Amino acid sequence: MPQDYCYSLVKRFLAESMPAVKVLSKKAQSRKLEKFTQRKITFFRFVDGKKTSVPIAEDHFFVRGSVEYANPQLTVEDVQGIIGVRLLQTCANYFGTIGFHAPNEDDYKQLSEDLKKPPEGYILPFLLNTDDVEADRYSMNPLKQSIVDSGQSAFPAAYIKNSQLKIDPQFVEKYEGKMISKKEVELIAKELQQTDSYLDFVDSFKFKQLEELSSVFGMDLRLNALRMPLSTLQAENKDGLLHYIISQAHKSYESIEQAYSCMGRSLTKRTTLLTVPHSKKGYGSKRAARGKIRFEKSKLEDVTVKYKTTALYPNAIDPKDIALAKADDSFTVIGEKLSDYDFKETPSSPQFFLYALASPEDAALWHGVGAFAAPQLLQSYTSARKACRGGQFISDMSERFGVCLDVPLQFNLVPKAMWRNPVYNNIDASIGTVDDASKLMIHGMMLEYLSEYK
């Protein structure tokens, strides 16, 4: 390697993001003194192409990073977020142990050594992989045309089957070097044949990319992961945590009104569904679904659901190339199916602010809030935690399930320092389009603490 990327990143990170490190370390040390009893969490990772369970039984302070299943390839945004989580966690553990001071050469060297090992310590990172998104949400999936042609464009990623998927040659021709590399296309085509599970295919491919990137950046980036919400609901019994959250959110007019309040909305129109029931045809796209909530006095009577073909989002290269969710169905779900919820009977996709309550995170890293990510999502997420902690909304999760109801610390990749393709300046370019990692690091690694969401 022409230079030690890990050492350079550590040095830049501490120069630009030490305030965030201090906030995380201080909060973690405070929580550790509380001797909070943590529920047992089972993460996963892929090793040599095989999914392996990773149970974590002891108490830890978890920092959440995130990736989606909207495309198989890691983007430069994904990679920066994963590296950012790893740096934040390692540095907070390190300085929390030896004490804060102006970093010196010995600190840089020791942190570089720590980062080469798998994550350890009281503060641990993980990736939350959201499996309810469409498989081509942002018009950047090289399998895009076959996803539409196979009738799966409005399916949640958790329901996608690989048997009818194939590389879209027009996508590759148009976006090679801009959003995807030839090498990645070849590896995706090969990996696609290994399993019929779309989630396993994507995770296996991304873990292989992370293994390669661990060598490039000189730090172990193969973080433990957790799939939510659909994989969690599928694995739970009816008395599980996420089932309980959905049931309690729908138990009355008042509970739904409180949930709406967390989203900053009123119940006047009642068109936002707290969890979006899936069609028997397989549709589950929240964008493609239209809903209406009906009450009988204070009781939830039913919700009507209509799926219709809907535009999703464009990629950053061609604003006119908008992904599509093709769907056509309508049905009604009686209220009891939601207030006494059973995923096996009524599969559905809960809104993020609800299922995030079941995530073990004590802190989270967002990607470019204010430019690339919506502040409203954070607002509903933090409002729900505050309402639960204050007893206004699902107040007994801590007693029943050992959930910590503190509002997680919120950190953010500073938008002006987001990593981009050095030629086309897009954050959604695949990591494979960048031939020299040093070209990414000219932006540094700037993380900020979003105190207004505390």
- What is the rounded distance in angstroms from the CA atom of residue 98 to the CA atom of residue 28? 14
- What is the rounded distance in angstroms from the CA atom of residue 279 to the CA atom of residue 155? 9
Q: Are 68 and 137 in contact (CB under 8 A)?
A: yes
- What is the rounded distance in angstroms from the CA atom of residue 135 to the CA atom of residue 184? 17
- Token representation of residue 306: 């209509």
How do strand 61-68 and strand 123-130 relate by DSSP bridges? parallel
Q: Are 278 and 230 in contact (CB under 8 A)?
A: no
So what's the pLDDT on residue 2? 43
- Token representation of residue 100: 């804060």
So what's the pLDDT on residue 35? 65
- Token representation of residue 315: 């990629």
So what's the pLDDT on residue 36? 62
With a threshold of 0.85, does the pTM exceed it?
yes
So what's the pLDDT on residue 22? 98
So what's the pLDDT on residue 136? 98
3-state class (DSSP) for residue 299: strand
- What is the rounded distance in angstroms from the CA atom of residue 262 to the CA atom of residue 381? 8
Q: Which residues 6+ apart lie within 8 Å of 163 measured at CB?
A: 196
- Going by C-alpha positions, the residue among 294, 73, 65, 308 that lies closest to residue 201 is 73
Mean pLDDT by 10 residues, the chain (454 residues): 77 97 96 75 93 90 95 97 98 97 97 97 97 98 98 98 97 98 97 96 97 95 98 96 98 96 92 97 98 96 98 97 98 98 98 96 92 78 93 91 91 94 96 93 92 63
336: number of Cβ within 10 Å: 14
Beta bridge partners of 300: 295
